[in-house]
Amino acid sequence: MARSFWQTWFQPKVSAIRPGSARRTRLSLEALDGASYPYLQVPGFAPNLRLDPPIQGSHAYRSVDTAAKMRAELSELEIDIGVLFPDHLLTFATLPNIEYATALGQAYNRWLMEEWLLKEPGLYGVLLATPQDPEAAAREIERYAKEERIVGIYLPTAGVNPLLGHRKYDPIMAAAEAAGLPVCLHSVTVVTPAFPCQIDQFENHFGRQVVSHAFAMMANLTSLIHSGAPARFPGLRVVFTEAGIAWVPYMMWRMDKYFNEYRRMVPFLEKRPSDYIREMMWFATQPIEEPDNPKDLVATIDLIGGPERIIYASDWPHHDFDHPRTIMKLPMPGDAKRKIMGENALRLFGITAPAGKL
């Protein structure tokens, strides 16, 4: 039987993480052996409680368990290059044990590199930065900064506390800025006591899913702007993922209006919020809005300032992924589609297109 994720990738020794209780921890970790490890799902870290009753016809959780399979499936979707995000580690920020979180994050990054990115062509990844220990995260970013397959920094937003504009995270932002790596925010629907994840009262997943990703992105964008992060790190680039894009005009205009109104409260901002957004921020499409008239989505992209800041995201291998055709079928010029489907992301992530592509 193959060595487990824990035996292979977890450093330092478990005894250093839980001094005095090494044996018990080890046993509990070893008890995880023998399970399969679907795509980026770290065994032992899947704390999702099923809040809703099983409903006939619901989609089963869909995953991928090897890089080869991921490569094959992306190719089937005609996707040449994929940037991999964690899956169950989307709830990473809810981990309260700082040493455990740091070690798990480092194990994940090693595993991501060795088991996924270096195994197949066209697979890139975002490095998990541990919000629980920003100094350790900064050292991790420095360690991987020159790795060709690491093209960004992943910061969890579900349960992150405080929100990401807090000066606590300045070491991560500084390291990302110095490495030239964009910071990529990704949320997931969880119920936690950290704003804005206190979604316990929604009675079904429809309600939770509508607000969770949406509020996470808007709250963290507001947090970044209101604390002056773009002014502190003028070379920072931020990517907002998995909440669609139609919220962006609202937040740009709303923040500009209150910037005029309450400018004295944010004296460190040298530009309008929408200027920072248009210069330093990108927005990933999935789950792309699908208005009855596809022209309405094109109009929304125009309101954001055109296709320059929009990047296609698939959310593969989840069942609710967006096929490339969700963008390709839009009534939009070909060059706009080319930007959204690849050019913007290649430039943002510093990836060289495969020969013959683009």
Residues contributing to the site for a copy of itself (CB under 8 A) = 52, 55-58, 161-163, 166, 195-196, 198-207, 209-211, 214-215, 218-219, 222-223, 225-227, 244, 246-247, 249-259, 261-262, 264-266, 287, 289-291, 296, 299-300, 302-303, 320
Q: Rounded to an integer, what distance in angstroms lies between the CA atom of residue 14 and that of residue 103?
A: 9
Give the phi and the psi of residue 123 in degrees, each rounded to 5.
Answer: -105, 120
Q: Rounded to an integer, what distance in angstroms lies between the CA atom of residue 64 and that of residue 85?
A: 13
DSSP-derived secondary structure letter, 288: -
Sheet holding 183-186, edge to edge: 82-84, 123-128, 150-156, 183-186, 238-241, 281-284, 310-311
- Between 122 and 273, whose beta carbon lies closer to a copy of itself? 273
- Between 4 and 157, whose beta carbon lies closer to a copy of itself? 157
Taking the CB of residue 278, how many other CB atoms lie within 10 A of it? 17
- Between 37 and 202, whose beta carbon lies closer to a copy of itself? 202
We find the least distance from the C-beta atom of residue 356 to a copy of itself, in angstroms, to be 35
- Between 105 and 317, whose beta carbon lies closer to a copy of itself? 317
- Between 52 and 142, whose beta carbon lies closer to a copy of itself? 52
- Between 166 and 232, whose beta carbon lies closer to a copy of itself? 166
We find the least distance from the C-beta atom of residue 357 to a copy of itself, in angstroms, to be 30
Which residues lie across from 128 on neighbouring strands?
Answer: 154
The region, left, alpha or beta by phi > 0 then psi within -120 to 50, assigned to residue 179 is alpha
End-to-end CA distance of the chain: 43
We find the least distance from the C-beta atom of residue 273 to a copy of itself, in angstroms, to be 9
Q: Rounded to an integer, what distance in angstroms lies between the CA atom of residue 134 and that of residue 141?
A: 10
We find the least distance from the C-beta atom of residue 225 to a copy of itself, in angstroms, to be 8
We find the least distance from the C-beta atom of residue 305 to a copy of itself, in angstroms, to be 10
Q: Rounded to an integer, what distance in angstroms lies between the CA atom of residue 218 and that of residue 330?
A: 26
- Assigned token pair, 82: 């994929």
- Between 4 and 300, whose beta carbon lies closer to a copy of itself? 300
Which residue has 């009855």 as its token pair? 292
We find the least distance from the C-beta atom of residue 339 to a copy of itself, in angstroms, to be 20
We find the least distance from the C-beta atom of residue 312 to a copy of itself, in angstroms, to be 16
- Residue 227, class by beta-carbon neighbours within 10 Å (0-12 exposed, 13-18 middle, 19+ buried)? buried
